[in-house]
Structure 1
Amino acid sequence: MYILHSSPDSASLVVRMVLTELGLPYQIRQVDRAAGALDSADYRALHPLGKIPVLETPDGVMFETAAILLYLSDKHHALAPAPDHPDRARFLTWLFFTSTNIHPVLLQLFYPDRSAGEACSAQTLTHARAQMQNLLTALDSMLARENPTWFSTGPSLMGYYIGMLMHWLAGNPPDHPGYFPTSDFPALHTRLAALETRPAAQTIAADEGLGRLPFTQPYA
């Protein structure tokens, strides 16, 4: 049994969708962020930085979204190329491209003051927007050019991870610097439009109030 420390519409979203897609039993431990639970001694014992998600597994406590997803995929032999598969290297390249580039730049768009302080928030937003445009264009171009099986219109670890990130980006108001609709990235949009109809995506989206099309038309 897995135990997922979670809060609605946070980075635990992708872990919930992957656990559900894999048909794995798990329990949710809701984290009361408003009450300061992330800073409690008990939670900091699970995650030293007080962030979400945390997943308690039979092999120990895990944090870091990409690490959790990779663990689940390898442990249950699904949603990504196996360690000895020829596509593994390419998959890992783009998984870590996502976790070390797209995900952190997204956080700059939502929390610019955390990167360089309140006085530099405007400059941070301008820089982060340009970065995000380049990153998503690079990903979309790769998908159009290579059409990898590990990120197709079927269920995949990469699809769910990118789907969560695009859920937040596409869900911003159009005048927000962090607004990036999936329609601007055709190859990506095609894959996410198929993935968001999966029972796992629909179940968790309904439970967390994310709308009928959580990746391409968030909150609609």
Structure 2
Amino acid sequence: MTLTLWHIPDWASQIIRLALEERALPYQVRAMDWDAGDFDAPGFRALNPLGLIPTLETPDGPIFETAAILLWLNARHGGLGPAPSDPAQAAFLSWLMFVSNTVHPTVMAMIHPDRPAGPDASGEAGRLALERLVTQAAQLETLITTHAPLWLTPAQPALGHYIGILIRWAICLPADPALRFTLKPFPALTAILAAHEATTAARRLAKIDSLGPTPYTAPEAA
């Protein structure tokens, strides 16, 4: 069975598409259209009852949630992070969950501050979310400079691409330019993301999905 990714460019499914491309896995794309109601279609809801992407159809059945899909791909095909028997997997899992459960919601609060706070408090919610992301980026910066884990390099690219897409959104998507993130205080994180956006797979997808030549480090240049 060929893997099938339900996908909209530059949504969270982009993270999974990057992983598939990095491992040169055969897959097909099912294009989604939010405005057309595709997320509520009964056939899609049968695959993902939450009606969200990424959703990946696999020989083991459909999988949803970004971290879950990355872990399945790494366990089944390898090369995206430490192997289950590798002692480095303990730290990798901790930081993957940090990115999935902490950084990802923070960035979404920056992009959609009205969702957690309502329209009247959206400005303050966006400001607080930006403050949290700066703190979280500093934690990643410290991790890189003190430990330089292999699983944050393109040699094991899943987590780096995940972070890269989130940072891309935080730089570009908040409606108020004053509430957008900058990588300038984080040179080590910037270098890691530059290495990821320069991989052959990332460059190919950046062209296919119109993400620009520097989708993580300078997405505003696209």
Could you say which TM-score interval applies, normalised by the shorter chain?
Answer: over 0.9
Aligned to 1:179: 180
Distance in 2 (alpha carbons) for counterparts of 1:219 and 1:205 = 14
Aligned to 1:58: 59
Distance in 2 (alpha carbons) for counterparts of 1:178 and 1:21 = 32
Distance in 1 (alpha carbons) for counterparts of 2:166 and 2:55 = 18
Distance in 2 (alpha carbons) for counterparts of 1:174 and 1:38 = 24
Aligned to 1:190: 191
Structure 1 pair 59/66, CA: closer, same or farther in 2 (3 Å)? same
Distance in 1 (alpha carbons) for counterparts of 2:210 and 2:169 = 13
User: Is 1:37 aligned to residue 38 of structure 2?
Assistant: yes
Aligned to 1:150: 151
Q: How does 1:132-171 map to 2 (within 5 A)?
A: 132-152=133-153, 154-171=155-172
Structure 1 pair 115/174, CA: closer, same or farther in 2 (3 Å)? closer
Distance in 1 (alpha carbons) for counterparts of 2:76 and 2:169 = 28
Distance in 1 (alpha carbons) for counterparts of 2:80 and 2:107 = 24
1:56, CA displacement in angstroms? 0.2
Identify the range of structure 1 (176-185 vs 76-85) with the bigger mean alpha-carbon deviation: 176-185
Distance in 2 (alpha carbons) for counterparts of 1:147 and 1:125 = 31
**Once the two structures are aligned, what percentage of the paired residues are identical?**
41
Distance in 1 (alpha carbons) for counterparts of 2:197 and 2:42 = 37
Identify the range of structure 1 (198-207 vs 42-51) with the bigger mean alpha-carbon deviation: 42-51
Distance in 2 (alpha carbons) for counterparts of 1:17 and 1:109 = 23
Provide the TM-score with structure 2 as the length reference: 0.93
1:153, CA displacement in angstroms? 5.1
Q: How does 1:89-168 map to 2 (within 5 A)?
A: 89-152=90-153, 154-168=155-169
Q: Deviations over 1:156-199 (max 9, x none)?
A: 11111111111212234795254223332111111111111111
Q: How does 1:68-87 map to 2 (within 5 A)?
A: 68-87=69-88
1:140/1:185 contact within 8 Å kept: yes
- Matched AA of 1:55: L
Identify the range of structure 1 (76-85 vs 149-158) with the bigger mean alpha-carbon deviation: 149-158
Distance in 2 (alpha carbons) for counterparts of 1:172 and 1:114 = 15
Structure 1 pair 174/138, CA: closer, same or farther in 2 (3 Å)? farther
2:81/2:156 contact within 8 Å kept: no
Provide the TM-score with structure 1 as the length reference: 0.94
- Matched AA of 1:208: D
**3-state secondary structure, aligned to 2:56:** strand
Structure 1 pair 174/39, CA: closer, same or farther in 2 (3 Å)? closer
Aligned to 1:212: 213
Distance in 1 (alpha carbons) for counterparts of 2:162 and 2:204 = 16
**3-state secondary structure, aligned to 1:56:** strand
Q: Deviations over 1:72-102 (max 9, x none)?
A: 1111121211111111111111000000000
Structure 1 pair 149/15, CA: closer, same or farther in 2 (3 Å)? same
- Matched AA of 2:129: A
**3-state secondary structure, aligned to 2:191:** helix
